[in-house]
Amino acid sequence: MSERPANVDPTAMTAPRFPVHRIDSLAGASFKHEHLPAILAEAPMRGFFEVHAENYMGAGGPPHHALATIRHDNPVSLHGVCMSIGGPQALDKAHLARFKTVVDRYEPALVSEHLAWSTHDTTYFNDLLPLPYTEATLERVCEHIDEVQETIRRPILLENPSTYVAFQESTLSETDFIRAIAQRTGCGLLLDVNNVFVSATNHGFSALEYLADFPLSGVDEIHLAGHAEQTDDEGDLLLIDSHDGPVADAVWKLYAIVIGQCGPIPTLIEWDSNIPEWPILKAEAAAAQAILDRHASVTVRSQSHAA
C-alpha cells in the first residue's frame, strides 16, 4: 500500500488538503453522521472510516462538513455504490465527473466500486443487480473500469457481489470473471467475505473453495457485514445481504482464514440499516482489528526470523 494516494501529483504546487494517514493493517467502520458527536467525544480512533461516495455529491452543507472533520483525523475509504459498472450501457459521464470530484476533494486512501449494475436506460434502481458472466460482459466491465480508472487517475478496488439468482447464459465462474478483470484492467479487489458466504449459501457452493479459487493476492480491502435469513422457492435457506446486524460467526471464521493466509488487509465493518449506537459498531471494528493485529505480529516475527 502506497503511503501517498496515487492521484497526488508530486509536482503540483498546492499542498494536499488533508494529512496523509496510512490505512494498511487497520480495521474501520462505516461512517454514519449520527455517530459523529460520539466519535468526536473520544480520542481519535485507530482505524479508518468508509463512506458512500454518492452521499457527498451535493454542493455543500453538513455532509461535507462531517466528512472533512473525519478525514482530518482518520484515513477514509471511498466506496461507490451506483456507478453501474456491470451494466451493458455506457457509464453516466456526469456521475463519473462527480465521482472524480469527490476523490479529488477528499484524497481517500482507497476507492472502490461494485461488480453490479443499478441503472438501466435512465432509471436508477438503487440496488446492486447481478450480471451474467460471459466473454461479452467481461469485455464491457473491463471497458467501464478502464474508464473509471482513467478518469480518477488511480486504480479502484472491485467488490465481489452477493447474489440471489444466476443467469443461464453465464459461461464463466465468478472467480474466473473477477480474476480476468483484475488482470486486464490492473484494478485491485475488495473481498466482501459476507458476500462470499451469502452467495455460497444461496447457490450451494463451498465458501472455502470459492476463496481458494479467488485471486487473493489482488485483495487490498475486506468487507464484513451482517446478513439476514429467508427461504428460497423450495423452502431452503436464502441469505440476504442486509448489512443490518453483527457479523455472523461463520463469516468471522472465514475472515480469520483469509487473514491467516494473506496477512493484514484493511478491513471494514459495514452497517447500513438498523444502525446501532457507535460503541457497538466500534466494538465490531475492534474485533476485526484484534485479528489483524494477531497476524501482523506473526508476520513481523516470521520476517525477523528470516532476517
Three-state secondary-structure class, residue 237: strand
User: Closest distance between other proteins and the C-beta of residue 256, in Å?
Assistant: 27
Number of residues this chain uses to bind other proteins (CB under 8 A)? 58
Q: Specify the residue, 220 or 241, whose C-beta has the smaller distance to other proteins.
A: 241
Between 278-306 and 249-262, two packed helices, what is the crossing angle to 10 degrees?
Answer: 30
Contact yes or no for 147/47 (Cβ under 8 A): no
Between 93-106 and 135-152, two packed helices, what is the crossing angle to 10 degrees?
Answer: 50
Three-state secondary-structure class, residue 64: helix
- The footprint of other proteins on residues 20-59 (CB under 8 A) is 54-55, 57-59
Q: What are the beta bridge partners of residue 224?
A: 269
Contact yes or no for 182/158 (Cβ under 8 A): yes
Name the burial class of residue 193, with classes exposed (0-12), middle (13-18) and buried (19+) by CB atoms within 10 angstroms of its CB: buried
User: Closest distance between other proteins and the C-beta of residue 81, in Å?
Assistant: 8
Using CB under 8 A as the binding rule, whether residue 88 contacts other proteins is answered as yes
User: Closest distance between other proteins and the C-beta of residue 220, in Å?
Assistant: 25
Using CB under 8 A as the binding rule, whether residue 245 contacts other proteins is answered as no
Q: Specify the residue, 73 or 92, whose C-beta has the smaller distance to other proteins.
A: 92
Q: Indicate which single residue of 1, 232, 290, 302 sits in contact with other proteins (rule: CB under 8 A).
A: 232
Q: Indicate which single residue of 11, 217, 231, 303 sits in contact with other proteins (rule: CB under 8 A).
A: 231
Binding mask 139-168 for other proteins (x = CB under 8 A): xx--x--------------------xxxxx
Nearest 10 degrees: Cα torsion 275, 279, 281, 283: -160
Using CB under 8 A as the binding rule, whether residue 121 contacts other proteins is answered as yes
Residue 152 to residue 126: CA distance in whole angstroms: 23
Residue 132 to residue 171: CA distance in whole angstroms: 8
Using CB under 8 A as the binding rule, whether residue 11 contacts other proteins is answered as no
User: Closest distance between other proteins and the C-beta of residue 264, in Å?
Assistant: 33
Q: What are the beta bridge partners of residue 129?
A: 117
Using CB under 8 A as the binding rule, whether residue 8 contacts other proteins is answered as no
Q: Indicate which single residue of 37, 61, 304, 305 sits in contact with other proteins (rule: CB under 8 A).
A: 61
Three-state secondary-structure class, residue 194: helix
Binding site for other proteins (CB under 8 A): 54-55, 57-65, 82, 84, 87-90, 92, 95, 98, 117-127, 129-132, 136-137, 139-140, 143, 164-169, 202-205, 230-234, 236, 238, 240
